[in-house]
Amino acid sequence: MLKTAIIRERMKKQTKQSKGIQWTMEDIYNLLMYDIEPELMTDQIADLDVLYFDESEDEHKDRMARYKEAFEEFFEKFEKLMSVWKGELGALKKEMFAALQAKINKGESNDISNIEDSIQSA
C-alpha cells in the first residue's frame, strides 16, 4: 500500500513537470519506463531501499531480474522511438528544403521580372 501511494505521488509531480514544451532525455526515459517498470523512473529509484527494506535474498534476486528485463525492454522501445523520430526528421528536412527551394525560385522569378521591367522601361 505504501509503495503504491509513493509511486502515485511521484507520478503526479512528474506529470505536472512534463507539461512543458521542452523534453529532456530524462523525460523520455521516464515516459517509456513508466509503462515498463514505474519503480525504475528516475524519481522512484531513491525510494527503492525504503520500499524493499525487508525483502528476502530470493525476492531481491527476482526483483533484480525483473529490473534487468525492464531495462532490456526500455532500450528496445527507445531504439524504435529514435528510428521513428529519425524518419520523421528526414521527412521534415525534405519538406523544409523543398519549401526553401520554392521560396528561392520565387524570389529569382521576381528578380528576373524586375530586370525585364527595368529593361523595357529604359
Distance between CA atoms of 16 and 23, rounded to whole angstroms? 13
Categorize the per-residue pLDDT at 116 as very low, low, confident or very high, splitting at 50, 70 and 90: low
Distance between CA atoms of 86 and 92, rounded to whole angstroms? 10
Q: What residue type is 10 in one-letter code? A: R
Q: At what angle do helices 57-121 and 25-36 cross, to 10 degrees?
A: 130
Confidence (pLDDT) at 75: 96
Distance between CA atoms of 64 and 55, rounded to whole angstroms? 12
In this predicted structure, the answer to whether residue 66 has a pLDDT above a threshold of 70 is yes
Q: What is the pLDDT of residues 72-114, one digit of tens each?
A: 999 999 999 999 989 888 888 888 888 878 877 777 666 666 6
The domain ranges of the chain are 2-121
pTM to 2 decimal places: 0.62
Q: What is the mean pLDDT of residues 60-80?
A: 96
